[in-house]
Structure 1
Amino acid sequence: MGEEEQEQQQKQQTLQESVACEPSNLRQAIEVISSLISLSHSIKVFIVKWQLIRNKLEELNSGLMAVENCDSCENLALSSLIAAILVTVDECYDLARRCVDFSYSGKLLMQSDLDVLSTKFDRHVKNLTEIYSAGVLSQGFAIVVSRPGLNACKDDMRFYIKDLLTRLKIGDTEMKRQALANLHEVVVAEDDKYVKIIVVEVTEIVNILVNFLDSQDAVIQEEAAKVVSVVSGFDLYKSVLIGAGVIGPLIRVLESGNDLGKEAAARSLQKLTENSDNAWSISAHGGVTALLKICSSVESRGEVIGPACGVLRNLVGVEEIKRFMVEEGAISSFIRLARSKDEVVQINSIEFIQNIASGDESIRQIVIREGGIRALVRVLDPKSSFSSKAREISLRAIEKLCFSSLSAISILMNYGFMDELLYFLRKGEVSVQELALKVAFRLCGTSEETKKAMGNAGFMPEFVRFLDAKSFDVREMAAEALSSLLSIPRNRKRFVQDDRNIGFVLQLLDQQEETNSGNKKFLLSILMSLTSCNSARRKIASSGYLKNIEKLAEAEVSGAKRLVRKLSTNRFRSMLSGIWHS
């Protein structure tokens, strides 16, 4: 044994004896490590190796701080470890000074010494973990590091996260629970800052979180799932969670966790499947079956069903998974959920029905056969308490599912859809009202019978009312829809009965600034349809707006010259100029 090695052993033995009777040596170890960390920042050589050593020093320091109130004299293993740590820190100080002063003899030798030093610190961290795991560290002994205030510097935030990491690794059950709760608190309050530290800098936490999802302790499992749910909301970090193997544990939480854990796991999976990239991974771990079970169970809470529906909605784009869902009876389950009083459940289930039937006639028929149309129309009942958002989603789903089939439209009408659509055109909130107009516009183009029914129901006065709306798109849509309805003779007669209608259309045409606007084209189309009715033709020809129509014809506005020619019957020829002879 060389003199240097004997000297090191003697130094360690002396420190052991000192520490065994002096608890203050724990504070000394914390202070010298903190000082060494500061010194390491001034080192300009072997930067990567010193960064690794500094990371280990910070982890070790956090662990020692966590038991600063523990009487180290009561545990010989801890006393011995502190002694060993002080010896290694002394060695590290020596190497740090030589690196700062560039007084080392050779690069290769120094690199070797730093590698040995890094290994020693690794061993100290492992030994400290084992001591804590044996029960030395408990909540009663642990010093709680205060959470940094708002706008704290990044170093303080990083130190706090590393302290939580130590507690997650080596604390008892209660300490782990509290550390996870604190972690969830900071990622929610200042999500992007702390999440970045967790995922990019203190990366070990991600693996610990994934492992905790399989914890036998329900609270630890739940708290871990809540943190994962927050992290999974960041597109930049989803791949890190996937790489850590988070899918399988999340599905196991769905299968056997408590309600809050299941809710957090479902929310995580909903975020992780937003682009369907992870669909097959969900399926491979039995996730589709687990999710369908949640959605079909009458015992499941709405807070769990909502995001579970959302996950399945995200997965229907994969043909094989979609077929499996249909075979498992998913459609009837989701039609039942479309009647839910829980808005999230209702909206996600309606979107699921719409997505699974989109572009697939056989599934669309199953939806209709299982009562899907009736369930969607019930959401629109003005007497119900469903939200405006749910009604918007339902209107969109009805449009997607029904408007390509006359038989489906017939079913819609039998359930009173037209009356409810008209109600929202008249009295709906702005967002629902505009969507109702779009749906009514689409409905006009489905069949002649539908146009007749809409005319009888009273849609034309509502379309007239929208002709001078603030929104250009709304005005144009209303004009086109009205033009479509006026292609039916019975509707034209009804329209002309109100003297104000023709005058209003002519007035709007006169107010149009752009010569060739789309709205002007449809207003002219409305007037053109009305010319087949004698009384309407007389009113137009004798109105004070005729010259405006002639000017439009001279300007070659689409439809204007044709309208002038239509008006120029033998009876009215003398009233008009000769521009149509040009």
Structure 2
Amino acid sequence: MHSIATPPPLSPSEPPSPAETIDKIIQLLGQLLPSTLSIISFASRWQILRTKLASLKSLLSEISYFQHWSDNPLLHSLLPNILSTVYRTQTLCHQCCDPSFNPGKLLMQSDLDMAAGWLSKQIHDLDLLLRSGVLHQSTAIILPHPTANASKEDLSFFIKDLFTRLQIGGLEFKRKALDSLIQLLSEDEKCASVVAKEGNVRCLIQLLDLNSHDSLRELAVHIVSMLVSMSDYSRKCLFEEGVLGPLLRIIECSSMPVKEKAAMVVEFITADTDNAWAISAYGGVSILIELCKSGSGTAQSHSIGAIKNVSTVEEIRIALAEEGAVPALVQLLVTGTPSTQEKAANCIAILASSGEYFRGLLLKEKALQSLLQLLHESSNSDTLEHVLRAIYSLSDSDVSHQILLGSTMFILEIGELIKHGNIMLQHVSASLLAKLSISDDNKRAIGGCMGSLVKLMESSKPDGLQEVATNALVSLLSVKSNRKDLVRDEKCVMRLILMLDPKNEVTSKKFPVAVGAAIMSGGSQTCRKTLVAAGAYGHLRILAEKEVVGAKKALQKLSGNRLKSIFTRTWRE
């Protein structure tokens, strides 16, 4: 008994030229096709083989019409294999026509099926060559890279040729094609969209399979990481062709450098909220969490970034809790790289704002204490913003509130961020200051940020900043020494008066009115006289007539008994 594992190789003393090989194949097919018509045994299988042989002859004839077909290096290896297959099929034909030959029914069926499989693969490769358009001109084994001013046609041809080699060529052809693709993308990021449009990204994804050669898989991961980071279009194409599943398998089973690149691709893909849901469909939540625990610093950063992206999806948040994401996140706040800490803080902020359930899990893992430590140690403004947002959400619980109120260092840091942070840090810090019921001692300790809060009241963006700045300032002004300090600052007083001016439409009048009322809440004559001297009286009178919230009451405090009788009736109403 015998079997066929691969087409038997040809071994002539001197390899024939491509033209000689294709002529020989067509000649053999011309003889073989009529011979198959007379075969009685295994008729259905020979009918299939006959159809494939006819397709093969048609494709070879079509290829031979191209002027430079014989220059294509892919045909140099493909044609000998086709010739070998045709020889083997001819042998099978003779055996089936010979009544005296009896190799066994099952063995012959197997041999015929194998021949049909070889023919199918080779027909596919020839058809791919024809459809790719690479036979329209001569191509060298080492492709010349398109120059910076290359035409779209040249670039398109180059890319199609590369992807044809990836699908037809042997290991070395594939490796060279991938190297050329990496060089092309490295030289011009704008090529990423063209690669996704003109190339076959599904072919790249197939190379990510764990059964692919290691060197090809590593190069393919590298190319995919370049494509997703360079172009929205190529990122969308890769996702739609199913790249996420193979990438997650790579994260499970590959070497750490390959895992890092795969995790980076997953992070980029899940940044699109329309793609985030697919993580759970591929079982990716547990894979990413495990990488957070055991990966390198770079791998942790990308995996935590992907977790942060998908944490916006409610169903995936539940899976994150069930798979133990919270302890891993809190641990990375302390042990992670700066990039990892930033993303972990961002993710915790998202989870903490999603409801009481996650706030309970985070507090159980002492997330608040880790956030306070990171707030003290980090100098990265983005990290600090995420930390403050997480603290803000966690502060809703009584336990958190008490911890924050008992941390004078935290209160002082908030005051410093209001004075020296960027606009987003000032916004979140002012929100915390307005929300917390801090002690009078601490209010005095951070009184120096009141001038910054007054400036923030003039900022129309971001939304809500004027209100939280006002509320934080009103809170600080409940302390007598802070009220005196503020009215001594001429710039602050003038800013408040300008905001009270009815002609100034930048600031809602209820905010400076509230601050004015807070300044006069202690009944200080010095504060009242300072505001009157600066022109607050006239503005408040107009605002009171316009029934601005709080204006009448503020005017009453500012006027004292002198105007009490005039406004008695209005106040009663």
Same fold (TM over 0.5): yes
- AA matched with 2:429: A
Which of residues 446, 452, 455 in structure 1 aligns to 2:443?
A: 455
CA distance 1:387–1:334, change in 2 (3 Å):
same
Q: Indicate conservation of the 8 Å contact 1:524/1:560, yes or no.
A: yes
* Deviation of 1:372 (Å): 0.8
* Deviation of 1:377 (Å): 1.6
* Deviation of 1:493 (Å): 4.3
Which of residues 294, 309, 314 in structure 2 aligns to 1:314?
A: 309
* Deviation of 1:144 (Å): 0.6
Look up the match of 1:304: 299
Q: Indicate conservation of the 8 Å contact 1:444/1:451, yes or no.
A: no
Work out the CA distance in 1 between the residues paired with 2:70 and 2:306.
43
Deviations 1:4-46, CA, capped at 9 Å, x for gaps: xxxxxxxxxxxxxxxx8885959x99xxxxxxxxxxxxxxxxx
Q: Indicate conservation of the 8 Å contact 1:254/1:265, yes or no.
A: yes
SS of equivalent residue, structure 2 residue 334: coil
* Deviation of 1:471 (Å): 3.7
Work out the CA distance in 2 between the residues paired with 1:244 and 1:482.
51
Deviations 1:222-246, CA, capped at 9 Å, x for gaps: 1111222333454445554345332
SS of equivalent residue, structure 2 residue 287: helix
- AA matched with 1:314: N
Q: Indicate conservation of the 8 Å contact 2:349/2:386, yes or no.
A: no
Deviations 1:351-371, CA, capped at 9 Å, x for gaps: 222223332212211211212
Q: Which moved more, 1:284-293 or 1:273-282?
A: 273-282
Look up the match of 2:533: 543
SS of equivalent residue, structure 2 residue 220: helix
* Deviation of 1:332 (Å): 1.1
Matched, 1:388 2:381: yes
Look up the match of 2:542: 552
Look up the match of 1:352: 347
Matched, 1:67 2:69: no
* Deviation of 1:248 (Å): 2.5
* Deviation of 1:271 (Å): 2.7
Matched, 1:467 2:454: yes
Matched, 1:230 2:226: yes
- AA matched with 1:77: P
Work out the CA distance in 1 between the residues paired with 2:544 and 2:286.
69
Unaligned runs of 5+ in 1: 1-19, 30-51, 82-119, 131-140
Look up the match of 2:197: 200
Matched, 1:427 2:420: yes
SS of equivalent residue, structure 2 residue 144: coil
* Deviation of 1:506 (Å): 5.1
Q: Indicate conservation of the 8 Å contact 2:540/2:554, yes or no.
A: no
What does 1:351-430 align with in structure 2 at a 5 Å threshold?
A: 351-381=346-376, 384=377, 386-402=379-395, 404-415=396-407, 416-428=409-421
Work out the CA distance in 2 between the residues paired with 1:411 and 1:363.
18
Which of residues 560, 563, 581 in structure 1 aligns to 2:554?
A: 563
Work out the CA distance in 2 between the residues paired with 1:514 and 1:541.
18
* Deviation of 1:212 (Å): 3.8
Deviations 1:44-86, CA, capped at 9 Å, x for gaps: xxxxxxxx999x969999985453997x9xx9938969xxxxx
Work out the CA distance in 2 between the residues paired with 1:230 and 1:262.
15
What does 1:55-454 align with in structure 2 at a 5 Å threshold?
A: 65=71, 67=73, 77=80, 126=125, 143-196=141-194, 198-203=195-200, 205-233=201-229, 234-238=231-235, 240-278=237-275, 281-297=278-294, 300-340=295-335, 342-381=337-376, 384=377, 386-402=379-395, 404-415=396-407, 416-428=409-421, 431=422, 434-447=423-436, 449-450=437-438, 452=440, 454=442
What does 1:42-57 align with in structure 2 at a 5 Å threshold?
A: none
Q: Indicate conservation of the 8 Å contact 1:335/1:372, yes or no.
A: yes
Work out the CA distance in 2 between the residues paired with 1:538 and 1:123.
94
- AA matched with 2:404: L
* Deviation of 1:147 (Å): 0.9
CA RMSD of aligned residues (A): 4.4
Work out the CA distance in 1 between the residues paired with 2:498 and 2:79.
98
CA distance 1:468–1:210, change in 2 (3 Å):
same
Q: Aligned residues, how many?
A: 474
* Deviation of 1:466 (Å): 4.1
CA distance 1:562–1:126, change in 2 (3 Å):
closer
Q: Indicate conservation of the 8 Å contact 1:57/1:121, yes or no.
A: no
Work out the CA distance in 1 between the residues paired with 2:363 and 2:553.
45
Q: Which moved more, 1:268-277 or 1:540-549?
A: 540-549
Unaligned runs of 5+ in 2: 1-13, 24-57, 85-118, 130-138
Q: Which moved more, 1:182-191 or 1:306-315?
A: 182-191
- AA matched with 1:552: I
Work out the CA distance in 2 between the residues paired with 1:243 and 1:479.
46
What is the percentage of aligned positions where both structures have the same residue? Answer: 24
